[in-house]
Amino acid sequence: MQRRDIETHLGHKMKQFTEQSVITEGGEFNADLIIFMPGMTGNSWFDNTELPRSPGGMIRADEHCKVESMDKVYVAGDSGSFPGPDWLPKQAHMADLQAEAAVKNMLAEFNGQAASHTFKAELLCIVDSQNSGMLVARTTKRNIVMPRMRIFHWLKRFFEWWYLRQYK
């Protein structure tokens, strides 16, 4: 953002928007353009359950995807709040990894064994601009951002076809 002379304001909760400004707990600033992306919160039907919740309203789970303080109850994907790095993404790839761990652990638990499977915290995506793409990959050990290249656009198209074919 700095390289593009875009001013950012981080660390204060928003209170209000006006036609020309944003008001936060830390003060007010003028804005020519306001793009607001609200954080995710849990589903409203969670309120009618005994499911333990995170401060953001998601279902609290451990590293095995087991719902805290519940017997043989597991969660995967966007509904769960999992331990891990602050940048842990909510994307389909993570839901796949979490679901695999959850199923293995649930089967183990039904067979009288302890849950032992975990999921790898990783972010892997190609930011596609229709004629080129940029690879972004992050794990607990590495952070990679590749420059925009046309090949990444085609790799994303191929990956989408390859991944989605299992559902057709």
Whole-number Å distance between alpha carbons of 97 and 148: 27
Proportion of the chain above pLDDT 90, given as a percent: 68
In terms of Cα–Cα distance, which of 132, 45, 58, 43 is closest to 88? 58
Task: Compute the distance between CA of residue 13 and CA of residue 50 in angstroms, rounded to an integer.
Answer: 29
- pLDDT at res. 9: 77
pLDDT at 25 over 80: yes
Q: For residue 16, what are the β-bridge partners?
A: 23
**For residue 8, what pLDDT is reported?**
80
- CA dist 81 and 93 (Å) reads 16
Instruction: Specify the pLDDT at position 102.
Output: 97
